[in-house]
Amino acid sequence: MHQLQEGGGPWGAPLAHILEGGLIVSEGFLRGLEEALGPLVTAKAAAAADAAAAAKAGASKSPTAGQQQQQQQQQQQASKAAAAADSDWEEDSKRKGKKGRSGKASGGKQKAASSSTQQQQQQQQQQQQNAGVGMEDIDAAGIASWDSIPAHAKEAFWGLLQPRLAKAFAAAVAACQASVLQQQQQKAAAEGELLQQRYELLCLGLKALEEQQQQQQQQQQQQKPSPLAAYLFKSLVFEIIDKLIVTAFRHANGEEVEASSNNRQQLLSRLAASGEEGSSSAAALQQAAAAAAKRDAAGVGGDIKEAANECHVFLRPPDKRRTKQLLSELRSNWSAAAAAAAELQQHRKFCHAVATLFFLKHAGVYLEFPAEDWALAAAAALLQQQQQQQQSANKGSIEGLEDLMALTAALESGQDLGVCGLFVSPLDSHEAAQEAAAALKAKALKGPQSA
């Protein structure tokens, strides 16, 4: 044991400590050793914080198995009670006695579960304490000031140093956990902002699909779903749903998962069995997924918003002012993209950008689609419908649409331009693409009005 030599220091702080055996240790020596051990304490604290986070994530998976086991036990008890229902009064009495005992046992199980939770928390605290800096860590660190202490005095010196290191270690663990929490909050904010952006584009796309359906109804055409509608639901809608599943797991139990079409239903089932909060999130997400599977353009936007609310993500559909702002920004961005692609003679990117730009300028809608042959052909077909509607309303035609269709045909696989039914060689196809792109550039990019 050590004795403190009081007095002398500022505010009554000790100047030195007398250890057993008469060894005197100055306060300055202690503080210098603490400072030298600072990096070691920080490294051990970071490792302990990571281990605690991993243990918490692992423990979050266990309630599901426990709930399933409890349900199986309840089913077994119910079947036993039903089998004994028509026994005589003695057996019935015995059964009632067993029921009473089983009720007590159930209460005992709840107490045991609560006790088990407390034990787990105590074990985690004990593990955190054990993860602190020990004498063997200091010996291995090769600190000169520590090595200068005589071997026979180190045990007594450790009794003086250990409480200080424990305090520094606890503070470092708390700082690491606070840093991790801040990073998680920043990550969640960035993901929420990205989800909002994707949701706004989804709302614009759904509006475009609704307007297309209205046009078909007005013209009494057979309503055939466009491949672009299927793409919108398959890519953008389910992309948002999968991101919300990831967020729901993070809020429900801190678990990090990756959601895709391969494991979406499995994750939703797990989420539904993870507790009250997870169950409500899973139900809302399941409803949104069902609307997406049915390609319900009118209802899926609202279902996704409700599911996001359950996952603590608050999505806002764009109002008229925001929609106008978005369409203006998109026109500017796609005009720049078309000009850049034309300059670099990237015909596929140019065709994709101009098709998107035509939707924005002539239909006043935005619809996300890939720069693939089938999508470009589907976009050209929709633009043809838009032109027919404009012509029927005496609003003229879409300048450059014929050139866009020629460029689309030139880019199609098989090199079939559809001109007089002739097959064209790859070289001729490239020349046709060059010619169509040049003609389209002259009409689609006319300076200031293209933006």
Looking at 257, 278, 310, the residue that finishes a domain is 310
Residues 175, 70: one domain? yes
Looking at 182, 214, 239, the residue that finishes a domain is 182
Per DSSP, the residues of 182-217 read HHHHHHHHHHHHHHHHHHHHHHHHHHHHHHHHHHHH
315 assigned to some structural domain: no
Residues 91, 211: one domain? no
230-248: b (≥16 Cβ within 10 Å) or e = ebbbeebbbebbbbbbbbb
pLDDT in tens, 315-326: 999 999 999 999
In angstroms, the CA 98 to CA 83 distance is 14
264 assigned to some structural domain: yes
Residue 384 has pLDDT above 60, yes or no: yes
Residues 330, 372: one domain? yes
Element (H, E) at 5: strand 3-8
Residue type, 193: E
114 assigned to some structural domain: yes
Residues 61, 201: one domain? no
Distance of CA 356 to the CA centre of its chain: 28
Q: Which two tokens stand for residue 305?
A: 């918003």
- Domain encompassing residue 48: 32-182
pTM tops 0.85, yes or no: no
pLDDT in tens, 125-181: 555 555 688 888 888 888 888 888 888 888 888 888 899 999 999 999 999 989 888
Residues 122, 101: one domain? yes
Domain count, the chain: 4
188 assigned to some structural domain: no
Looking at 310, 336, 368, the residue that finishes a domain is 310
Nearest Cα neighbor of 166 from 192, 140, 132 is 132
Strands 3-8 and 24-26: unpaired
114-128: b (≥16 Cβ within 10 Å) or e = eeeeeeeeeeeeeeb
Residues 398, 344: one domain? yes
Q: What are phi and psi for residue 20, nearest 5 degrees? A: -65, 140
Residues 349, 262: one domain? no
Using the 8-state DSSP alphabet, how is residue 230 labeled? H
392 assigned to some structural domain: yes
Residues 198, 126: one domain? no
Residues 204, 178: one domain? no
Q: How many residues does the chain have?
A: 451
170-181: b (≥16 Cβ within 10 Å) or e = bebbeebeeeee
Residues 333, 297: one domain? no
187 assigned to some structural domain: no
57-87: b (≥16 Cβ within 10 Å) or e = eeebeebbeeeeeeeeeeeeeeeeeeeeeee
Residues 356, 410: one domain? yes
Residues 36, 23: one domain? no
pLDDT in tens, 16-66: 888 777 778 888 888 888 899 999 999 998 888 888 777 766 655 555 444
48 assigned to some structural domain: yes
User: Is 307 within 8 Å of 288 (Cβ atoms)?
Assistant: yes
295 assigned to some structural domain: yes
Q: Tokens 């003695």, residue?
A: 90
pLDDT in tens, 54-112: 776 665 555 544 445 444 544 454 344 334 434 443 444 444 444 444 444 445 544 44
